[in-house]
């Protein structure tokens, strides 16, 4: 006993999985390049720890390299590179909320000035 829906779903499945071998190969090459870049950046991070610089300079160099590595992971492995507009709006909303929340204690401090 088979429902007539199964044939339609089979055809839809074939249409949805019509990625060509070239398209898949292109994605694999991109992932390999990102993986190599992450490895090189990791080696650079370790090399920075051996540089004869102050702690603050080494710290900011390591943070900069870690930011680049994080951006690569977020952009390519988590597929956020095509979500640029949404990410910008989320960052703007987060910044606005942060500023508002930072000024709330200032308002309460100025209200109670002179009460004690």
Do 77 and 40 belong to one domain?
A: yes
Do 33 and 70 belong to one domain?
A: yes
State how far the Cα of 101 lies from the Cα of 106, in Å rounded to an integer: 10
Q: Give the number of domains in the chain.
A: 2
> What per-residue confidence (pLDDT) applies to 44?
94
> What per-residue confidence (pLDDT) applies to 68?
96
Q: What pTM value is reported for the model?
A: 0.59
Q: Average pLDDT in the 80-84 region? A: 84
> What per-residue confidence (pLDDT) applies to 107?
78
Do 72 and 116 belong to one domain?
A: no
Do 101 and 75 belong to one domain?
A: no
Q: Average pLDDT in the 77-91 region? A: 87
| Nearest one of 82, 80, 76 to 30, comparing CA atoms | 76
Do 98 and 61 belong to one domain?
A: no
> What per-residue confidence (pLDDT) applies to 9?
59
> What per-residue confidence (pLDDT) applies to 92?
96
Q: Please list, in sequence order, all residues whose beta carbon lies within 8 angstroms of the beta carbon of residue 42, skipping any fewer than 6 positions away.
A: 69
Domain boundaries, position 42: 23-82
* Residue 5: inside a domain: no
Do 38 and 74 belong to one domain?
A: yes
DSSP class of residue 114 equals: T
* Residue 14: inside a domain: no
Do 28 and 78 belong to one domain?
A: yes
Q: What percent of the chain has pLDDT over 70?
A: 76
């Amino acid at each position: 006993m088979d429902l007539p829906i199964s044939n339609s779903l089979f055809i839809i499945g074939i249409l949805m999985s019509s990625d060509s071998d070239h398209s898949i190969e292109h994605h694999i090459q991109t992932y390999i390049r990102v993986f190599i870049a992450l490895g090189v950046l990791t080696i650079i991070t370790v090399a920075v720890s051996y540089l004869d610089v102050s702690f603050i300079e080494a710290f900011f160099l390591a943070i900069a390299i870690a930011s680049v590595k994080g951006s690569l992971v977020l952009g390519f492995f988590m597929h956020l590179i095509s979500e640029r507009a949404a990410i910008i709006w989320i960052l703007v909303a987060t910044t606005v909320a942060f500023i508002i929340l930072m000024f709330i204690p200032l308002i309460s401090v100025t209200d109670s000035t002179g009460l004690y």
